[in-house]
Amino acid sequence: MDIRGYIERAVRELGAEVPFVELEVPRVAEHGDLSTPVAMVLAGRLRRPPREIAEEMASMLRAESPFERVDVAGPGFINFTFRRGFLYEGLRNLLGDPARCLRRDLGGGQKVQVEFVSANPTGPLHLGHGRGAAVGAALSNLLARAGYEVEREFYINDAGRQVRLLGESIFARYKELLGVACRFPEEGYRGGYVVEIARQLLGEAGDRFRDAGFEGEAAEYFVRFGVGRMLGVMKEDLGGFGVEFDRWQSEKALYDEGLVRRCLDELREKGMLYEREGALWFRATEFGDDKDRVVIKSDGSHTYFASDIAYHWYKIQRGFDELIDVWGADHHGYVPRIKAVIRALGHPEERLSVLLVQIVTLLRGGKPVQMSKRSGEFVTLREVTEEVGADTTKFIFLTRSHDSHLEFDIETAKKESSENPVYYVQYAYARINSIFRKARQQGVEPGGAVDLGCLKEEAEAGLIKKLLFYPLMFEGAVRAREPHRVTFYLQELAGLFHPYYNTHRVLGLDPSLTLARLALCEAVKRVLEEGLSILGVTLPERM
């Protein structure tokens, strides 16, 4: 029975309905190994003081074998200190079946769609897109490990004004390459990548459009060519970053396949749309938004909101139980209107979760980096990945919560020291591999019958506890949809392992102690593998 099971049994003995039992690691080691505020949750239900409930539960739990001590603190916290035997048993279970011990089936096969990055195909991916990619990919991996059926999707904004501006910008540069005077669009895209696309288009189309204006066939050709090239670059950059998608959904396809029309027809039938001043409006205020929204303008053109409504309608039509959108922080104002759409379609707004990813400030030696040499506008994800590596970039993106501003210092990211968080974690993994190579060179074969009771040092007990608390962290990360918790945990685990390695020999000791310490190293390695694979960070054999 797990720890939560013991507590739940005590709750039932009190005659109360069992709530979700929150468990946390106390910040002060003297307060025990684990703590729960469950008595304070029960106080209202049982109409008794929480401290009194905690004392009664503690007396029940003190008789249970896993606990060396059960104490009550403050207004009603119950603190647990584990017996060494319980720690050894947990470590043995972890070594025997890491996947079963480290993961929890919280999803039960529910279908979840995670839509992330979804950058306009009008320019290279920048650092903000990269952070969104790291968050979305890690969250998808985390949920998949927790028993959810996950689909990763990129929404291509390939309809509307922005892609037309891209096509017109390429058209102007194409004309320049032919030596033909052409006005550059006032709000066009001026990065060097536009010239490169124009050069590629010239190589394919020749001077076919020398005398054409930007309309009709020419406009369609330049937009399609530009979007296709930019999507190719994005896929290449994301592939180099180690991020893959199950599906790429085109906005244009929503119109071409009649999905926008079908969705709006459904909303009309439900009375959710009305006409005013020649335009068609969505009754957003009836569902919590601050004002009604136009879906079709008076000139007959659709707004971006129309396709966004249809896109989320289509997601629900495809049978997803939960939708998770990972957006840039500048889209915060868009959240209430999409939530309103979900409610208008007859679903609880909780079916949609939106994670807003805050901006990244790029530094070099503590000073802001201002300009990209390639794009002429911003530092691209590819530039940073090429300089510091995909692993380091992803890991640093995930060192803080997605809703916190992040400073990314390139010089720190390149250091091979504890200042570089990913190096510190990966080095722990590589170091363990080195220990096992040396063990085999010395004729020591890990495994077999191991007396874990040889692990008597406090540092060893601390490491074992940290390993056994991984499932607790995992569950919290899944429930909160916060993959950065895995990053925090791995840094803390590495922070325990390196000092242990530096002060405690593993090889060349009494054979029983050597095998026990090798088993502990193996368990650390397994947990590092599990966590780093969720983050999409590689596992180096050597460093």
Give me the sign of the Cα torsion angle 410, 413, 414, 418: positive
Contact assessment for residue 117 and residue 152, using Cβ atoms and an 8 Å cutoff = no
Residue 193 confidence (pLDDT): 93
Residue 64 confidence (pLDDT): 74
Contact assessment for residue 460 and residue 524, using Cβ atoms and an 8 Å cutoff = no
What is the CATH architecture assignment of 3-82?
2-Layer Sandwich (3.30)
Residue 377 confidence (pLDDT): 64
Along the chain (543 residues), what's the average pLDDT of each consecutive run of 10 residues? 85 92 89 94 94 95 86 95 94 95 96 97 94 98 98 95 96 97 92 95 96 96 97 97 97 97 96 96 93 96 95 97 96 93 93 96 88 62 95 97 95 89 96 96 88 96 96 96 98 97 93 96 98 96 88
Residue 372 confidence (pLDDT): 54
The yes or no reply on domain 118-256+358-414 and CATH 3.40.50.620 is: yes
Quickly count: other Cβ atoms within 10 Å of residue 145's Cβ: 23
- Please tell me the pTM assigned to this model: 0.93
3-state SS class at 70: strand
Residue 240 confidence (pLDDT): 96
Q: Domain residues of the chain, as ranges? A: 3-82, 118-256+358-414, 421-535
C-alpha 23/C-alpha 2 separation (Å) is 12
Question: 421-535 maps to which CATH number?
Answer: 1.10.730.10
C-alpha 261/C-alpha 42 separation (Å) is 51
The order of strands in the sheet holding 67-73 is 34-36, 77-82, 67-73
**How many residues does the structure list for the chain?**
543
Q: Name the phi and psi angles at 217, rounded to 5.
A: -60, -40
Task: Please name the residue ranges forming H helices in 150-191.
Answer: 161-177
Give me the sign of the Cα torsion angle 434, 437, 442, 444: positive
Which residues 6+ apart lie within 8 Å of 310 measured at CB? 254, 259, 260, 262, 263, 264
Domains 3-82 and 118-256+358-414 share a fold: no
Contact assessment for residue 185 and residue 219, using Cβ atoms and an 8 Å cutoff = no
Residue 498 in tokens: 């390196």
Quickly count: other Cβ atoms within 10 Å of residue 350's Cβ: 9
Residue 449 confidence (pLDDT): 85
User: Half-sphere exposure of 43 toward its Cβ, with a 13 Å CA cutoff?
Assistant: 14
